[in-house]
Structure 1
Amino acid sequence: METKVHNNPQERPTPSTNGRASVEDNHLLIEATKNEDIELVQQLLKKGADVNFQDEEWGWSPLHNAVQSGNEDIVDLLLNHGAEPCLRKRNGATPFIVAGIAGNVKVLKLLLPKVADVNECDVHGFTAFMEASAYGKVEALRFLYKNGAKVNLHRKTKQDQEKIRKGGATALMDAAEGGHVDVVRILLHEMGADVHARDNMGRNALTYALLNSDDEKVKAITRLLLDCNVDVSVRGEGRKTPLILAVEKKNLGLVEMLLEQKHIEMNDTDNEGKTALRLAVELKLKEIAQLLCHKGARTDCGDLLAIARRNYDRDLVKFLSQHGAVEDFHPPAQDWKPQSLRWGEALKHLHGIYRPMIGKLKIFIDEKYKIADSSEGGVYLGFYEDQEVAVKLFYEGSTHGQNEVSVLQSNRINSNVVTFYGSENYRACLYVCLALCERTLEEHFADHRGEAVQNKEDEFARNVLSSLFKAVEELHLSGYTHQDLQPQNMLIDSKNGACLADFDKSIKWTGDPQEIKRDLEALGLLVVYVVNQGDISFERLKDLGTEKLIQLPPDEETRDLIRHLFFPGDNVKDHLSGLLGHPFFWSWASRYRTLRDVGNESDIKVRKANAKILQLLQPGTSEHSTSFARWTTKRNSTTGNRKEKSNLKTEVLIKVVAKVEIREE
């Protein structure tokens, strides 16, 4: 029987009754089916309540509810009043799929004649047969099998989920993970389930079985799978073999069972380079470590003796020594020299001590190696693939940590953003590894307080702000906003180069101009902070009004740059691209060369039409002219007439360009 399927309850019109009372009746019908109140259900249906009404949150219909409760009488009543058995909840589950979870065969029999495909699935690829398997509903499983359910169907999930290798599991894997021994036996011996099937991550039913927490059920299912020659070398998450997973479960019987297999490879390593034996020693599992050694596990899989000593297990140290384990740690050469000047001593000490590796990372969470505090776990020194790094810590699943990694990965080619080397996850902690710099911008100014730059070109200020502008520009173009621009988040290396860091508060741009404007305003504050060499704290600057901030810099070009940041206009996303050519960023040498090569002050004053310098200033004639035309245009119509503006433009240009001429001479 062909039945119309509605995927979105919002799109399906409700039968018109009498306004508000009808909506109330529909909701009452939902509640009545939940409560299995058949009399109320009958009354509401007679009044004209919509039998296919769905709640707005999850899309449950009266039939979904009746099927979930397993009430055959209400199911039959709803069907007779036109309930659609293929109506879908928000996750795509039909009443028939829900019936597989509930496991009521009588309900399944009522629905089956009205269902087009016994193998219909929800948006995650679950069929009624898979659900019956996952929930251990044996009778429902057998009924569905007899009526054409596919035993070895692989779960087809959404495309974006498949791209990250989700989906692909079978009913056997679901039953194994759920610990349903009887279902696994039936699937294997009665229904011909494929014990060799793998999901999109390459995992098989044995891998799934080892995820269950009940050791006795795990052992029973493992025995069933092993008897059917399941592959014991398959890899799970983190490239862990079933043997490594069994050691992690600290289950001696399970390890013994796996070691009986002919094709077991006990020296395989996971993503962290650990074997089953090394893991057993780390977890202080003496009996399992001894069993592995007796079975021939290699003892050259790390400094097992040092690990056992740190665990104060003298007997295991002696046992491992008898089975060939030797002192494996060799201190680095004494002539190793760190690249960082500031962190050199701490790095040298960290380099010389033994630390268990976290993937590619060597780190020691100790105050001696702490660089800075952070929003969560702090920042520490470390070595990532032997490269000196700063390691920022977050708890696993942290929104801030996810933001940090997401932005850094999207901006790897942004040379003005701190270099991202990689990340590691270990024991509910996320380690984000970044290029190690010497100090923050705030620390730089604190170290150089009182060093005047009067009558000198402030190259540091120009270079730092240029790097900052470029970093934020590329950040905006990549679709992100920083949202936390401040001196502590600008890092300075040993050569006074600058890069932008700390993206844990960054957000994906939603299109709201205010998100970018917040970054631009923070940039304006940073311009004032930098040109004043940090003499005014950033917090104090934030308390000042816009007009006071604009008047703080001593020169017109800086004040104009700040105005552009505080009043960016409509095209905020590309605003920084135009500002990078602003005269603030012109070096004194380039200003002098411009004046020397193309003209002099008198040409500007008399506005000599064919003067090269005057042509240079007209919009469209050069990169500098366009920028100059923008930043010298007065926004306030009350500042004077056209002649006054022109005179001001001339006067400012002379200050910008000619102030270098005197010094060069």
Structure 2
Amino acid sequence: METKRHHNAQERRGPSGKGRTLVDDNHSLINAVREGRIQWVQQLLDRGADVNFQEKDGGWSPLHNAVKMEREDIVHLLLRYGADPCLRKRNGATPFIVAGIVGHVGLLRLLLSKGASVNEYDHHGFTAFMEAAEYGKVEALRFLYENGAEVNLGRETMKAQKKLKKGGATALMDAAKKGHVEILSILLDEMGADVNACDNMGRNALIHALVNLKKSDEVMNVARILLAHGANVNVRGEKGKTPLILAVENDHLDVVEMLLEQEHIEINDTDTEGKTALLWAVEYKLTKIAKLLCNKGASTDCGDLLKLARRCYDPSLEKLLLNHGARDYHPPAEDWAPQSSRWGLALKHLHSIYRPMIGKLKIFIDEEYKIADSLEGGVYLGFYEEQEVAVKRFHENSRNGENEVSCLQSIRATSNLVTYYGSERDRGLLYVCIMLCEHTLETHVAEHRGEAVEDEEDEFSRSILLSIFKAVAELHLSWGYTHQDLQPQNILIDSKNSVRVADFDKSSKWAGEPEKIKSDLEALGRLVLYVVTRGDISFETLKTQSNEEVILHSPNEEIQNLIGELFCPGENVESHLKDLLGHPFFWSWESRYRTLRDLGNESDIKTRKQKLNSRLCLLQSPAEDRSKSFHQWTSKINKYVMEEMNSFYKKQNKIHLCYKNTVGDLLRFIRNLGEHIHEEKNKGMKLAIQDPSQYFQKNFPDLIIYIYVTLRDTEYKKHFPKTCTTHETCDGGQQASQL
């Protein structure tokens, strides 16, 4: 809540000779309020004392003090003299919030009438309602509720605190941690408080009670009320401790017994150290609790229980454990090393701690092991049959989860799609285990943002997009699925820097509906632009733009053509993506140069023949489009090289064969130069040209796409590079030779 800021009287100067008197009167006013001397308060105000003066320590004003002392008469007096009812202390508390602490209904009513807001909060997020709950002020709590206080409001704290996961607590949690049973009953039964609301650390009211209350009877009373109203018994507090573990650690036998009676209690769950409730009971020599846990089915395969019992010299505890199947523990090898570099530390910790197995899966649902958020249960690190995996969680009957498993089971053993290891079901949840990757395309592209690619071969984009195109083409043709959710977060980079398409929870079997494939192709068009521009335009922004707007962002004619082909696939949509794997975007500069040379070696090009119905004849006319880089190409070649190449014909009196400004002659020039540039007599040309593949690409960047569009439907496409099939693997380093 915004409030007026008043100048501190200590910083103001009164008339000459009276400054010190005013400061003294301000401090005296505070003291007079604290002592409840109303006549002295009035005298000081009449003498000019600042009614809104605030002490340096804490920022207490006369009004704050009067409310704290519950002196309604002095509060009225101060307000008449202009006291600000919304003035804040250093911690942000207003007089209204202080009234909630002391529980004075009359003052709360008065301050509300003077402009206070019932849900105003201090810098730590405390409202008057929360304070009334924490201090056990029943009448104030009911008054505030009747006047609109939000019962389930979570503590809104400062940004720096929120980053540390502070805040978020509710009035119910405040009452629970103080053991106010009556307040809890009122909040739950009369006001509809959410018993399972959690603070920013994920703790509910039950956790707050178990952490803060020390007396067993207090904990028992609070826990009984919360459990009767459905409190989650498997929620986690700091260090991943569940209510059961906390009850064991604090030796609350009756609470442990009550928790074990709850239907959904997870008796073998562990904290972040990998310790179960039973392990803690043994470590603390709590034999009665250990017996109770064992009798309720707690697993004894949770660490070196026997060693702990022997160290405690407790033969009865050792016997108990042996009777329930405890065996000498063999911890995981300390020299075990994870394969993943990014997730290595977390994997090593997960590997070393005890976790109850879910079939073949070892997993711990904790922030330390969380990889990403998802629509349902998040993605976590895990081990499936000792293999490092990423685990996606779904509700057991989730349609998305079933889609994911169905699709993954169909596409096993492929290099461009993420590998599937298996799935498990437990307690209403489905766990889908897939290959663990290091990055998403989003983070991978971000790492390369700002890299200059102008006039350079963009192997980065070509390698990534080739893998994505092949993966989606394989999904369409080989497995009969469409992806339906292609975006940077759903494309992964594995430990070998290979691209893997993932996240098939929205995928569906293709049953001849062209619109589903078109949806994938349109997403690919946006991914092309996203990758080649290194994410300069966010994918979310591109999704909001029309196809026409997206094409306009293309950095060159080649990208524009590729995206246009994706957006307008024609009739044969099913195999369109496979055909696009032969697009010039995927040709290396060396293979482009080789294609141009091969075309220049065609007899029609070498002899300038205008063969009837030959598309090559289109290349024999001068390029009239001035926007093309190869318009008037002879003037753009190194002058010395151009003269040397023409001199060959001049010396033979074949001036008519000198190079003209046609595309066909440019191809002939490229062919002839390539045939002779490495000869000893042509060292000068070699020095001027250097690498021919780079020279012609940089000087005529749109030549290849022009050739491609002109000849792709003709017999001359035989000179185009051979495209990898969807079942082959082409990494960035192999592309040039395979294409």
Larger radius of gyration: 2
What TM-score, normalized to structure 1?
0.49
